[in-house]
Amino acid sequence: MTTLTNLLDFDPAQLVAYCAGLGEKPFRAKQLQRWIHQFGAADFDSMTDLAKSLRDKLKTRAEIRSPSVISDNTSTDGTRKWLVDVGNGNAVETVFIPEENRGTLCISTQAGCAVNCRFCSTGKQGFNRNLTVSEIIGQLWMAEFELRRTKGIEPGPKGERQITNVVMMGMGEPLLNFEPTVTALKLMLDDNAYGLSRRRVTLSTSGVVPMMDKLSQEVPVALAVSLHASNDALRDGLVPLNKKYPLRDLMAACKRYLAFAPRDFITFEYCMLDGVNDTDEHARELLALVNDPVLGVSCKFNLIPFNPFPESGLLRSKNPRIKGFAQVLMDGGLVTTIRKTRGDDIDAACGQLAGEVQDRTRVQERMEKMDEYKKKFGANFGRIVEIAS
């Protein structure tokens, strides 16, 4: 029996090469790609502008198959979480966070995670395997067209796009599954697929320094770095990868990345842990770190209230402490946001699935407004903070 080739595994250049192998011209690959990624088509017979001979070839050799959905839950706040089957008893989670004028999808890149950050429940499951391209981009393909079906919106470029932003912040460390992640990113950005702006795709990493450099050369998207500590001794205990790539190396890599990034800042994510990393002294250490004449990097901070789970032995910082910590950072001139908790009732909140599921859907809007105001009123105009009520 012939093994069918899953066309969701191919980036634009690879699809052109695949079609060439079938004796087809490059424009056929573009047509095929639009059918798959803009119309959500999985049936070759529905691809009406492809020659029948090509459709017949594809039917015997290829398929379009995303991972199957095990469960599909919607939170009271509209957050929607799919549990997706990736075989051999492994499942990953994909989370959609709706807001008034945009929708963000949080995508997983690995089943489990090998980084084993102390505050992340996913890491406690251990690492199972890397996801394939079709399993990564398949989450976007499935979610976009499922959201359209739910709302009665037609597939294709005329139908209103449901997912405007993607964050690679689900299960796993994306940079430890580099090639499939990069291939999926290329599809997200391609105009004949999802056509997302590089500014609207964010990859979150715990700091895999060599791969950060590689990403900057291959497909530099917006970057978020899971920092979570203000010094090496503390970070060694919270993010074990720090022993391999300590803060000095990580900051230097962030600085190098900014030369190629679509934004002129790095987002540092900081999980607020009661009595562990949340004192004013820690905040002052962070200011010294990011403002260091040699190591310093243009950045903003996203403070994440910890979602406790029994095995961690950790507690969430109290709200007044989080606000006090944010105030120290803001008084030091850093743009600082506090993440609102989303999807708690369906366990879709940060750390309950994938290390970091962020509600970052309005951050870009705020930053753009801030730039506008600074141009108008001067560089010192205002500082922004979002406080969860």
Structure tokens at 60: 């015997």
Q: Which residues pair with 270 in a beta bridge?
A: 303
CA distance 348 to 342: 7
SS3 346: helix
User: What torsion, rounded to 10 degrees, do the Cα atoms 268, 269, 271, 277 define?
Assistant: 0
Residue numbers annotated as active site: 93, 350
> Residue 324 in contact with residue 317, Cβ under 8 Å?
no
Distance in angstroms (rounded) separating the CA atoms of residues 24 and 26: 7
**Rounded distance between C-alpha atoms, residue 294 and residue 264, angstroms:** 18
**How many residues in total does the chain contain?**
389
CB atoms within 10 A of CB 294: 8
Cα separations in angstroms, 265 against 45, 290, 300, 301, 319: 46, 11, 7, 10, 26
**Of 203, 222, 196, 193, whose CA–CA distance to 107 is shortest?**
203
Closest to 132 measured CA to CA, from 167, 184, 92? 184
Q: How many alpha carbons lie under 13 Å from residue 165 in its C-beta half-sphere?
A: 25
Contact between 319 and 327 (Cβ < 8 Å): no
Burial environment of residue 322 by CB neighbours within 10 A (0 to 12, 13 to 18, 19 or more):
buried
